Amino acid sequence: MSLTLEDVARIPRPGCSFPGKIAFTPDGRRLTYLHSSRGDLVRELWCLDLATGDRTKLFDASGGITDENVSREEALRRERQRIRESGVTHYAWARDAEVLLVPLRGTLHLLAGGARRAVDGEAVDPQLTRDGRLVGFVRGGELHVAETSTGRTRRLTGSQELTGSQGVTRGLAEYVAQEEMGRSGGFWFSRDGRHVAFEEVDERHIPPFPIVHQAREGLQVEEHRYPFAGRRNAAVRVGIVPVEGGPAAWIDVGEDLYLARAAWHPDGRLFVQIQSRDQRKLDLRAYDLQGRGETLLTEESPLWINLHHDLRFLENGDFVWASERTGFKHLYLYDRTGRLIRPLTSGTWGVDAVLDVTDRDVFFAGGREGPLEKHLYRVPLAGGEAARLTREPGMHDGIVARDGSCFVDVHDSRTCAYSVAVRRMDGSILHRLHEPAAAKFPAPEILPFRSRDGETLYAALYKPARLPAPLLVEVYGGPHVQMVNDSWALTADLRAQYLAQQGYLVARIDNRGSARRGLAFEGAIAERMGTVEIRDQTDGVRHLRSMGLVEDDRVGIYGWSYGGYLAAMCLATAGDVFKAAVAGAPVTHWDGYDTHYTERYMRAPQANPEGYRIGSVMEHVAGITGRLLLVHGMLDENVHFRHTARLVQALVRARKPHEILLLPDERHMPRREEDRVTMEARIEDFFRRNV
């Protein structure tokens, strides 16, 4: 298939429109999911009857959510959760009742017992109690609940003197929790639905960072309380309040600490994960309803503690916990007091995520078969070997029925687009929910190679019709991301496929610092971002040259976000290898990025000034001899446009030629197709002229 720039810019990618947010209904008889009938980003809510195979559309996209019709708070939450879809983008079942919640453009739709009720008005982050009796949400920066049977609403937090509009919110997660900690919620209902724990966030001491909407008519200015590395974070504490109203019992999580996670234990205690500012220590604490607590266990690491969502409670009070204490993430069983009962998994491979826990087994996804694949497994709580549930090579994810009788298998590989099937535990298929689209592009080749100091690394190659050819390297290279694996996302990288059709050899290379290879592999970048990653990328280029695949010295590199940072750093510090770079939304100096992400890897600027200096693109501008194209959205509230502006000023002072593509009405990820088409055309033209 011959590709156009419009194809490259179109989202979703071919084969990437498939059912998402899949859930078993509380009675276990049906499966609900979001999917687009048209194969685009506009989703509807569907239901599959597991007994008959019949499918029913529960909610269509009319009146649904778009980027244009949500509040700014919701738009920013969508950005931080990387949600591009529109229409029906969220729904939830009550855990123990047939009550369904569907938020649609300013209205909460509630279905229970065949009756439908609507709660109108702003409702950020709506959540149901387990019994479906109440729905909680944040309005005006304060926590509210509404009765699902009547729609009657009451406010649980706040006073007239101190409200969310003044820099204090209750029930919302702070910026770094949403963007960096994988925690989008700021309140948690107790299992019996009688109490709710909530987070109070005070950001009044953090200076506002203004973002001006330069492309809009009239003056619009956003102000964000952005905690820069080495500076003060939001002050956080946790309250517990009865859902009927009343005073809160307060939990002081400590000064300059992170509230990482919270969850209610079956015995009524609130389990809270507290992470130290330097992220080398994590305490799991348990609190009663009066706020009295104790520490059950502590995790410590000389590098950092990666947060997870793998705390799972058993009805007998025991709990499953994940830890990287061996250097690889594995699962452990504890009793209610925090006493270790036994390890559940082990080895020189990592668990990706717990899927579910029954009274006998833990179901999880992991990479036991190697870092290029992901499979689903079941391990007995009583101890023993983990049994692999999935067989097809590639990447698997899914969910498990509450009774452990079947599971949903979401599978893809380089040669097979996404498929979704409901399987029995022996692997046989109950229902095929989604068939994969036919592959229209050649699967890239995965090539292992050795770095200069003997580390095994992997590259993915998109080959043109003729070799040798000019080489373009696609880079991300940062933590928590794996670019090279046996996945359809690799094949459906249409920019790489398009550039290969234009005669380039395109390579993705996963350097040390990237994900799914263990803590030591990831930790190679500790306190020295922008160094070992570049050595690994250049080693990959030299290996391809040694194979005779690269034409002369015609080598370029491109990337976005952390990849934009590395693209600029490669041009500035490895100019003998890279002749041109496209840096999209790059971090150009780590003192301009946020606390939780930056300090995890680089420590605070005061503790590692040399690492911050060496890791800054501006420090190396004098070494730039090749050509540079900078791309940035001017509304980016994550990697501020200020990063590109600081680099441009350094380039001007050093009299270094450069090119710029500004996207005045975009944030961190370009959402408008017309902007993406323009961007892809500019990138192709830049490399044609300079590589």
The predicted-structure confidence for 264-282, as pLDDT tens digits, reads as follows: 999 999 999 999 999 999 9
The sheet with strand 270-275 has its strands ordered as 258-264, 270-275, 281-287, 293-300
- Identify the band that residue 165 occupies on the pLDDT scale cut at 50, 70 and 90: low
How many contiguous H segments (helices) and E segments (strands) does the chain have?
Answer: 12, 44
pLDDT at site 69: 76
Longest dimension (CA), the chain: 74
The predicted-structure confidence for 613-648, as pLDDT tens digits, reads as follows: 999 999 999 999 999 999 999 999 999 999 999 999
Instruction: Determine the topology of domain 445-690 in CATH.
Output: Rossmann fold (3.40.50)
The predicted-structure confidence for 63-95, as pLDDT tens digits, reads as follows: 677 777 778 888 888 888 888 888 999 999 999
Give mean pLDDT, residues 119-148.
95
Answer whether 523's CB lies under 8 Å from 305's CB. no
pLDDT at 161 over 50: no
Check 265, 543, 620, 668 and give the catalytic one.
Answer: 668
Strand partners, 557: 473, 581
Who contacts 488 (Cβ-Cβ below 8 Å, separation ≥6)?
15, 16, 394, 395, 412, 413, 414, 416, 417, 418
Strand, helix or coil at 152?
A: coil
The predicted-structure confidence for 31-72, as pLDDT tens digits, reads as follows: 999 999 888 999 999 999 999 999 999 998 776 777 777 788
Answer whether 12's CB lies under 8 Å from 28's CB. no
Which string of b and e fits 362-400 if b means at least 16 CB within 10 Å? bbbbbbbeebbbbbbbbbebeeeebeebbeebbbbbbbb
Active site residue 668: yes
Active site residue 636: yes
Euclidean distance between CA atoms 568 and 586, whole angstroms: 8
The predicted-structure confidence for 387-398, as pLDDT tens digits, reads as follows: 999 999 999 999
pLDDT at site 650: 98
Who contacts 168 (Cβ-Cβ below 8 Å, separation ≥6)?
141, 162, 200, 201, 202, 203, 204
Check 561, 589, 594, 640 and give the catalytic one.
Answer: 561
pLDDT at 411 over 90: yes
Strand partners, 112: 99, 115
- Identify the band that residue 130 occupies on the pLDDT scale cut at 50, 70 and 90: very high
pLDDT at 581 over 70: yes
Answer whether 418's CB lies under 8 Å from 16's CB. yes
**What is the rounded average pLDDT for all residues in the chain?**
95
Answer whether 158's CB lies under 8 Å from 170's CB. yes
Give mean pLDDT, residues 126-150.
96
Strand, helix or coil at 155?
A: strand
pLDDT at 437 over 90: no
Selected residue with higher pLDDT from 496 and 437? 496
pLDDT at site 159: 65
The predicted-structure confidence for 473-521, as pLDDT tens digits, reads as follows: 999 999 999 999 999 999 999 999 999 999 999 999 999 999 999 999 9
Strand, helix or coil at 568?
A: helix
Active site residue 71: no
Check 318, 396, 636, 643 and give the catalytic one.
Answer: 636
